[in-house]
Structure 1
Amino acid sequence: MMTTASAAKATPSTRRTELLAAAAATVTVVLWASAFVSIRSAGAAYSPGALALGRLLTGAVALGVICVVRREGWPPRAAWPGILISGLLWFGFYMVALNWGEQQVDAGTAALIVNIGPILVALLGSRLLGDQMPPRLLAGMAVSFAGAVTVGLSMSGGGGSSVLGVVLCLLAAVGYAGGVVAQKPALGRASALQVTTFGCLVGAVVCLPFAGKLVTEAGDAPLSATLNMIYLGVFPTALAFTTWAYALARTTASRMGATTYAVPALVVLMSWLALDEVPGLFTLAGGALCLAGVAVSRSRARTTPKAVPPPPAVTPEPRPEREQHEPEQA
C-alpha cells in the first residue's frame, strides 16, 4: 500500500506528465490548423492524391531520419495491427478523401462534416476501448460541436457543394475516427515516434498509385505550392502526428478527439492573419464556442476530500479471572 509520503512524491510527477501531454496536444492542434492554410495554396497546383503522397513521403523521410538518429528500431509485432489500420485509414484514406472532398464542397460545409469525427472517436472509444464518458466531456463536446456548426454555417455559400463532396468529407471523418481508435492500443506497445513513423510510411505506400501524377504536377507547380507541400509533410504530419501520439498515449481517445475542436477556431484566426480573410461575428462566436467547449471537456471536476470518520473506540476485553484451585486435602 502506498504511504502518504510516497503519494506526495508521485503527485508532481503525474502533474508534469499531464502538462507535457497538454503541451503536445497544443502543438498538434496549432500545426493542424496551419495545415488548412497551406492546403489552400498547394491544392491549387496538386491534385488530392498527389498532394497526399507528397506530404506523406516528406513526413516519412523526416521521421525516418529521426528514428535512425534515435535508434528506435522496428515496433514490436503486437503494435503492428494498430499501426497498419491507422496508417491505412488515417494517414492514407483520410488525407486523400479530405483533399478531394474540399475541392467538391465549400469550406464551411467541409468543416461542418469533418467535425463529426471527434464525436465518432468518442463513440468508438467508449465501445471498443472502454473510454469513460464523464458529463464534462459530453458537455464540452456539445458546446464545441455547436461552435463548429456556427463556423461552418457562417463560412458556407462561398462555393458550390456536391453530393460527392459531402460523402467524401463524411468518409474522411470516419477514417479519422477509425485511425485514432486503432492507434491507441498500438501506443501501449510501441513508442509514439515508432507508431507515427510506420503509420506515415503505410499511408505513403497506400498512396503510391498517385506517384505518376505527383511527378508530373511537381514539374509544373510553382515553388510556393511545392514548399507548402513540404511544410505539410514536416510540420503538420511528422511533428504534429508525433506530438498527437505522445499525448494520446497519456489520455483517452475521447478527450484527445475533443481537443481537435480547437482547430476550427485557430483556422479562423490564421486565415485572418495570413490570408486577410476577415471573419464575421458569427464566425468569431463559433470559434469562441469551440475553444470554450475544449476547455470544458479537458477540465476535471473538483473533488472534495471525504471526511475521514474517527476510528471506533476500542473497549478493552475483560481479562479472564485466574482459576482458584482448592488446596488438596491430605
Structure 2
Amino acid sequence: MRLFLLTAVVMVAFAANSVLNRMAVGEGGIGAVEFALVRVLAGAGVLLALVAWRGRGWRGASLAGVAGLSVYLFGFSLAYGQLDAGTGALILFGVVQVTMFGGALLAGEAVPGRRWAGAGLALAGLAVLVAPAGASWMGFAAMAAAGLGWGVYSLAGRGARDALAATAGNFALALIPAAGVALLAGVEFGAATGRGVALAVLSGAVTSGLGYALWYGVLPALGAGRAAVAQLTVPLIAAAGGAVLMGEAVGWRFAVAAALVLGGVAWASLPRAVSRGGG
C-alpha cells in the first residue's frame, strides 16, 4: 500500500509540471523562457541540496543528459503557451516512448513485434491529436522537441550508478545552456507576475526536484515493467488537472488520441508471457 501511495504521488508530481507550466505561461504570468530558467534554477538548488545532505557528490552527469534536459525544459515551456495541459502531456509522453523505442533499435536490442505494434498505435494517436482542429502545430513541434530531449536524457541515464547524483549534476550543468538561451532570448522578468514566478519555483523545486528524487526512491521496488505502466496515467492526470483548475475542455479528439497512445504504450510494455497470452 505504501509503494502504491508513493507512486501515485510521483505521477501527480509529473502531471503537475504540465498544469503548473500551463497555468503560468499559458495565462501570461511569465514568459516561457523565463519559466524554464527559474525551473532549472530551483530544481538544481533542491537536487544539489539533497546530494549534499547525503554527503555525496553529484558526479555522473553526461553531455547527452545535459543537452537532453535543456531541450526538454525549454521546449516544454514554449509548448505550453499554446497547448492544454493534457494535450501537451500526451504529446510529450508519446514522443518520449517513440524516442526510447528508437534508442533500443540503435543499441541493437531485440525488439518484439508487440513493441512495433505499440509504437505504431502511439504514432497514430499523435496523428489524431494534430489533425485539423487538433493541437497547434507550433505547440506540437515544441513539445515533440521536449519529448525527444527527455527521451535522450532518459537513455543517457540508464547506466548511471547514482541516479540522484547524476540528475543533480545534469540540472546543475544545464544552467550553462540555460544562461545562454536567456542571453540570446533577452529574458525580461519585469513583465512576470509574482504568481508566475512562484509557479515556476514550485515546478522546479517540488514537482521536478523532489518529484524526481522520490521517483528514484520507488523505482527499485516497482521494477521496469510496473514503472512504465504507472507513467501511462500522467497525461490523464494532467488533463483532469487542467479541466478542474483551468476549465480546459477534454473533447473526443483527446479521448481517441489518449486511447491510442496509452493503449499502444501499454501493449508495448506488457511482459512477454502476458503479451503471448493476449495474441
TM-score, normalisation: structure 1: 0.65
Structure 1: state its 5+ residue gaps: 1-18, 304-330
What are the equivalent positions in structure 2 for 1:30-41 lying under 5 Å apart? 30-41=12-23
What residue number does 2:201 align with? 230
What residue number does 2:33 align with? 49
Kindly state the Cα deviation for residue 198 of structure 1 after the two structures are TM-superposed: 0.9
1:99 corresponds to 2:73: no
Number of equivalences = 268
Label 1:268 to 1:234 Cα distance change in 2 as closer, same or farther (>3 A): same
Match of 1:174 among 140, 148, 151: 148
**How many Å separate the matches in 2 of 1:53 and 1:246?**
26
What are the equivalent positions in structure 2 for 1:263-278 lying under 5 Å apart? 263-278=234-249
Structure 2: state its 5+ residue gaps: 275-279
| Structure number, greater radius of gyration | 1
**Which AA in structure 1 matches 2:22?**
R
Deviations along 1:264-296, one digit per CA (max 9) or x if unpaired, are 322222212222223223423433444444443
Kindly state the Cα deviation for residue 101 of structure 1 after the two structures are TM-superposed: 4.2
Kindly state the Cα deviation for residue 211 of structure 1 after the two structures are TM-superposed: 5.7
What are the equivalent positions in structure 2 for 1:62-211 lying under 5 Å apart? 62-75=46-59, 79-80=60-61, 83-90=62-69, 92-103=70-81, 106-107=83-84, 114=92, 115-128=94-107, 130-153=108-131, 156=134, 161-162=137-138, 167-185=141-159, 187=160, 189=161, 191-209=162-180
**Which AA in structure 1 matches 2:177?**
V
**How many Å separate the matches in 2 of 1:257 and 1:220?**
40
Greater per-residue helix proportion: 2
What residue number does 1:310 align with? none
What residue number does 1:298 align with? 269
Kindly state the Cα deviation for residue 48 of structure 1 after the two structures are TM-superposed: 2.5
Label 1:271 to 1:168 Cα distance change in 2 as closer, same or farther (>3 A): closer
Counterpart contact for 1:60–1:200, Cα < 8 Å: yes
Deviations along 1:169-216, one digit per CA (max 9) or x if unpaired, are 44333322222211112x2x3x12101111111112221235678984
**How many Å separate the matches in 2 of 1:86 and 1:71?**
23
Kindly state the Cα deviation for residue 167 of structure 1 after the two structures are TM-superposed: 4.8
TM-score, normalisation: structure 2: 0.76
Label 1:198 to 1:155 Cα distance change in 2 as closer, same or farther (>3 A): farther
Counterpart contact for 2:119–2:264, Cα < 8 Å: yes
**Which AA in structure 1 matches 2:152?**
G
Label 1:242 to 1:251 Cα distance change in 2 as closer, same or farther (>3 A): same
Counterpart contact for 1:51–1:214, Cα < 8 Å: no
Kindly state the Cα deviation for residue 112 of structure 1 after the two structures are TM-superposed: 7.0
Label 1:215 to 1:161 Cα distance change in 2 as closer, same or farther (>3 A): closer
Q: Which has the higher contact order (CA 8 A, sep 6+)?
A: 2
Counterpart contact for 2:90–2:258, Cα < 8 Å: no
Kindly state the Cα deviation for residue 152 of structure 1 after the two structures are TM-superposed: 4.7
Cα RMSD for the two superposed structures: 3.7
Partner of 1:32, secondary structure, is: helix
Counterpart contact for 2:76–2:143, Cα < 8 Å: yes
Label 1:244 to 1:138 Cα distance change in 2 as closer, same or farther (>3 A): farther
Partner of 1:184, secondary structure, is: coil
% of aligned pairs identical? 22
Label 1:258 to 1:174 Cα distance change in 2 as closer, same or farther (>3 A): farther
Counterpart contact for 1:118–1:258, Cα < 8 Å: no
**Which AA in structure 1 matches 2:15?**
A
